[in-house]
A and B are shown apart, each in its own frame.
Chain A
């Protein structure tokens, strides 16, 4: 049976979590040649509210395109954690932005956390790349694609003027999680 991995990115609308999901799906399907489906759901708000983006990655064609049992979940805000940090499989992982999620979802999974948004702001100097920091962190946590494929997908997505910034953000997120995993 094909291995099917389900990853959910969640946060506030406008934080770029849908983009993070798209980049991961591109890393898997365009760069690594696997099968991937990315989908999202959101409310009527263009900004704010809670939004989620799901990526299913498999080495075989994907039937059901939505999450059934989540391998890894990211929550950037309390609202998204309350709403979307569920259906995580036993032994799965949950990654939280520790500055914004104080009431941690409970379950039979491992929770990792660090101040994702603050890291982007203080160590990269741009809060806007928090989604890319988060993406690096998710790749490190799941190893669903290689570090290089993830980076390549990030660089293919962003405007030329922001290549360095995003490369730094991605790798910073990746390294932060590898530290946590030590």
Chain B
């Protein structure tokens, strides 16, 4: 049988990706340019026995998905930068309490209300650092409608596997444009379900590190009974101020994502003509499409340009970018903000090559012409 194909908006593709991954609960609040994710899920979730709720505000939306996730459901919310600003409080809660959830951020500009119908990429640092306290972050940055589908599935997998919030960031351009989607068959993409506790209820501790960096999370309403708090806690889940417990838990919650093995599992990149590249363009999301167009044009003129495209933005692909920094004459970082990832690339290449930012924040897409002109300047 031929696979189902459809011309879908990025936001619609996201909703279908969530359903494929087994999402059973959406809690949200309306915000442009993300609303189609909610609209599609309001139709589709009840069909599969799932729940959709529109909450009273962004914080409540985040609270509702954490509550639902604790009952064992796969959960998702969708918003934009201003919504994530509000959700930051409970993103921190999901980090410390280690509750799996997926947060979609369809980026527009900012700060504040900014330009709701214009594209932006200015939430990439918010995705990394947006909540108080030290914490790990996983953020994925798909660049096409098909990839929004597959990366949404992967976001659920990572959230469940690493027991934490995972953000999917894409800008308004990809969120609202339409491309042909080929729906994967069931089983074609990996779908990871939450690990269940294996110990008898009376021995269960929600943060029991004898089961590794990511202890299994039981569900409310099952035979397991436990306590969840946003306070620093010991392995049994109850609040503690004991220095050694607090320190160990904080460090574990970061290292569970940043250790070598986890990084290798979480990181995902695409390289295009980087083998012999003399100028590297580091670009993500819709801007990477402009960059690829630019690379093709530049190659026609004999200029050896290449593209590095992170699909996982956080954790940052430090090793590979550092290596490329030693190979090329310069790295150019086009982004629809004023140089946020540019800072990270600079940090990682440690001065081995110049890092040049191209920023655009006027609500217009960053186009190939801008990138081509900058590369030629380097040459």
Contact = CB atoms under 8 A, between A and B. Distances in A.
Is this pair of chains taken from one and the same complex? yes
10 contacts: A22-B178, A25-B7, A29-B180, A30-B6, A36-B180, A38-B179, A63-B290, A63-B293, A65-B173, A65-B174
Given A63-B296, A64-B289, A36 B368 contact: no
Interface residues of A, number: 21
A64 B178 contact: no
A149 B296 CA distance: 31
A29 B179 contact: yes
Contacts of A168: none
Interface in B318-375: 365, 367-369
Contact of A65 (B7, B177, B296, B369): B177
A70 to B, nearest CB: 14
A68 B13 CA distance: 25
Interface in A34-50: 35-44
Given A25-B7, A37-B179, A63-B289, A68 B117 contact: no
A118 interface: no
A66 interface: yes
Interface of A: 22, 25-26, 29-30, 35-44, 62-66, 68
B310 interface: no
Contacts of A63: 289-290, 292-293, 296, 368
Interface in B55-73: none
Interface string B273-314: 000000000000010011011001000000000000000000
A68 B369 CA distance: 9
A41 B117 contact: yes
A39 B289 contact: no
A38 B7 contact: yes
Nearest to B365: A66
A113 B18 CA distance: 46
Contacts of B368: 63-64, 68
A38 B368 CA distance: 18
A121 B316 CA distance: 57
Contacts of A42: 117
B5 interface: yes
Given A43-B117, A64-B368, 4 more contacts: A63-B293, A64-B290, A64-B292, A68-B293
B216 interface: no
Contacts of A44: 116-117
Contacts of B293: 63-64, 68
A48 to B, nearest CB: 15
